[in-house]
Amino acid sequence: MKVNFDEIVERQGTYSAKWMGTGGSSLDYRNPAVKLPFQVADMDLACPEPIVQAMHRVADHRIFGYSVRTEEYTEAFITWYRRRYGLELKGEWILPSHGSMSAVNAAVSTFTNVGDGVIICRPVYGHFTGCIEEELYRRVVNVQLINRDGYYEMDWDAFEAACARPENRAFILCSPANPVGRVWTKEELARMCEITRRNHVLLVSDEVHCDILMAGQHHTPILQATDAWDNLIMVTGINKTFNVAGLACANAVIPDDNLRGIFSKEFGHGLLSPFSIAALISAYTECDEWLDQLRSYIEGNIDAAIAFLREHMPKVKVRKPEGTYILWLDFSAYGLSAEEIHRRIYEEARVLLQDGTVHDPDRGGQFQRMCVPCARAVLLEGLRRMAKEFEA
Ligand SMILES: Cc1ncc(COP(=O)(O)O)c(C=O)c1O
């Protein structure tokens, strides 16, 4: 069945973090009084009907007690990875978690100490910094990605040097990369695995964006990049893929017995909400076709946004991402201060993006992050508003 992703779903009055403070109904998106939000990485698109039905079934039970994962959950997870990625997992490797950031946080907190260095490669999802510094009192060790005309690559010498320092104990990888849109190749991933392992650095691979890829792209789960798994934790979730972030359902996958034993002792009992359990089972068994259609719609949005920008805001530099539904927009050619770029977009155009400094505090001032998984008409309205403020 063809899914109608052009449908505009009301999000006002649904506790949506993204639509808080936007001043009106999502259906009223043409009204300039309503701010248009593209800042939060969740979708304004209805989630798949089988998941909605699964939520109804859970609600109809009328009791929402402590819930544990079943064999069906584990099987759904394993068969999804077998079917979509050709990766064979074992049930005991899978550890459910309330969202992917809690699994990342638990991994770093379990295997490093206060004051240790944790490597990240900026520009990268800003919450990694918050997690390392504010939640865990570790130190961010940034290995800046190299920007080659909007295509971001690892600085291997700097990465090797950072891993070699004994006080740097973990590396958080964003794969695919938010906000720069890279889908790391198997060769790049294998090299990260080799360097970290040789230097006794834990590699935590946050793969929440792995299912949203452009046509022709292939995501390699970190466990497929090597068969030496004793420093690897893969974190994955249904949150982004199926637009169920509010259910906070993610999983850490840890094949190494020793690593997993230590992690699970620290991490606790792995209870999930019954809604999360039912959603994951449905997502991983009934929603392949929906996801394939979603991917084409998102790619259509990305192409439409880039075409619009090339025509109406040609000074904005943007490269089509390989994966994710995120655009990383470079406004530097306008020659404006970061504050002025912000003012024009957020106050004049009344469009909410995310300042680049969230993901790259030192060099992100001229960048803005824009999440595009919404009805195309809303996306184009947001872009039109921006163009008016920059090209008038
Ligand atoms: C790379 C990355 N990791 C984690 C998260 C947060 O995921 P969760 O809500 O599952 O903690 C996000 C959300 O944008 C993200 O982009």
pLDDT digits (tens, 9 = 90+) for 226-277: 999 999 999 999 999 999 999 999 999 999 999 999 999 888 766 889 999 9
Mean pLDDT of the chain: 97
Residue 352 Cα to chain centre, angstroms:
18
State what percent of residues in the chain have pLDDT above 70. 99
What is the domain extent for residue 83?
A: 51-286
Ligand 1 pocket: which of 100, 210, 244, 370 to mutate (most atoms within 8 A of CB): 100
Omega within 30 of 0 (cis) for the link into 176:
yes
Which numbered atom of ligand 1 lies nearest the CA of 324? 16
Section 200-214 average pLDDT: 98
Under a CB-based contact definition with an 8 Å cutoff, are residues 141 and 118 in contact? yes
Q: How far apart are CA 159 and CA 11, in angstroms?
A: 42
Report if residue 8 sits inside a domain: no
Section 286-303 average pLDDT: 98
Nearest partner of 103 among 128, 75, 134, judged by Cα: 128
- Per-residue pLDDT tens digits for 345-391: 999 999 999 999 999 999 999 999 999 999 999 999 999 999 999 98
* Ligand 1 centroid – CA 326 distance (Å): 13
Same domain, 255 and 345: no
**Cα-flanking dihedrals φ and ψ of residue 233, to 5°?**
-130, 125
- What residue ranges line ligand 1, CB within 6 angstroms? 41, 99-101, 125, 174, 178, 206, 208, 237, 239, 245, 250
* Ligand 1 centroid – CA 252 distance (Å): 13
Nearest partner of 206 among 169, 237, 161, judged by Cα: 237
Instruction: Kindly give the interhelix angle for 274-286 and 71-85, rounded to the nearest 10 degrees.
Output: 30
Same domain, 180 and 250: yes
Q: What pLDDT sits at residue 392?
A: 63
Section 167-195 average pLDDT: 98
- Per-residue pLDDT tens digits for 310-340: 999 999 999 999 999 999 999 999 999 999 9
Same domain, 39 and 91: no
Report if residue 280 sits inside a domain: yes
CATH of the domain at 306: 3.90.1150.10
Same domain, 31 and 63: no
Q: Whose CA is nearest to atom 9 of ligand 1?
A: 99
Ligand 1 pocket: which of 182, 204, 239 to mutate (most atoms within 8 A of CB): 239
Q: What pLDDT sits at residue 271?
A: 80
Report if residue 82 sits inside a domain: yes
Q: What pLDDT sits at residue 269?
A: 64
Q: How far apart are CA 163 and CA 199, in angstroms?
A: 6
CATH of the domain at 172: 3.40.640.10
Burial class (CB in 10 A: 0-12, 13-18, 19+), 392: exposed
DSSP string of 302-347, one letter each residue: HHHHHHHHHHH-TTSB----SBSSEEEEE-GGG---HHHHHIIIII
Same domain, 122 and 260: yes
- Per-residue pLDDT tens digits for 52-64: 999 999 999 999 9
Section 95-117 average pLDDT: 96
Section 182-203 average pLDDT: 98
Q: What pLDDT sits at residue 266?
A: 82
Q: How far apart are CA 247 and CA 17, in angstroms?
A: 13
Which numbered atom of ligand 1 lies nearest the CA of 41? 14
Q: Give me the residue label for tokens 């960048």.
A: 367
* Ligand 1 centroid – CA 101 distance (Å): 6
What's the pTM value of the predicted model, to 2 decimals?
Answer: 0.97
Q: Within 13 Å, how many C-alpha atoms sit on residue 12's CB side? A: 13
Report if residue 4 sits inside a domain: no
* Ligand 1 centroid – CA 69 distance (Å): 22
* Ligand 1 centroid – CA 237 distance (Å): 9
Ligand 1 pocket: which of 18, 180, 208 to mutate (most atoms within 8 A of CB): 208
Q: How far apart are CA 86 and CA 220, in angstroms?
A: 10
SS3 state of residue 149: coil
